[in-house]
């Protein structure tokens, strides 16, 4: 079945540091890949997505590239801010009739001033 593996958190960085959160997946066919962010006390928001190999999703300074050969979709940001502190979820949808999103376990990011 489908699965998503994210790096274990928590991740603690200083402001303006470089961020990488690793995500690898197992899926049938050619899944669509997503990153969601959950700020404290809130629901999940779609951060970025990619629907085919070599696509790069980007939003708010975050980027992730769909790498089919390594089955990866790592999240990066060049300079994090305190306001980026949140839980980040990698997810996939492998198509099919149930439209199910399979989530990773989430990575807590804390950015200190």
**Contact positions toward another protein, by CB under 8 A?**
32, 34, 36, 38, 42-46, 49, 51, 87, 89, 93, 95-101, 103, 105-106, 108
Sign, CA torsion 63/54/25/47: positive
CA distance linking residue 38 with residue 86, whole number of Å: 6
Question: Rounded to the nearest whole angstrom, what is the least distance from the CB of residue 73 to another protein in the complex?
Answer: 14
Least distance (Å) from another protein to the CB of residue 89?
7
- Residue 18 or 30 having the CB closest to another protein: 30
Structure tokens at 104: 């990773």
> Minimal distance in Å, beta carbon 65 to another protein?
17
């Amino acid at each position: 079945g489908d699965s998503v593996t994210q790096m274990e958190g928590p991740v603690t960085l200083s402001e303006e540091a470089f961020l990488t959160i690793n995500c690898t997946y197992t899926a049938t066919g050619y899944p669509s890949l997503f990153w969601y962010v959950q700020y404290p006390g809130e629901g999940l928001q779609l951060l970025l997505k990619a629907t085919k190999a070599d696509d790069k999703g980007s939003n708010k300074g975050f980027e992730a590239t769909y790498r089919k050969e390594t089955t990866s979709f790592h999240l990066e940001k060049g300079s994090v801010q305190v306001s980026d502190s949140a839980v980040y979820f990698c997810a996939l949808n492998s198509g099919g009739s149930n439209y199910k999103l399979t989530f990773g376990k989430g990575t807590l990011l804390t950015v200190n001033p």
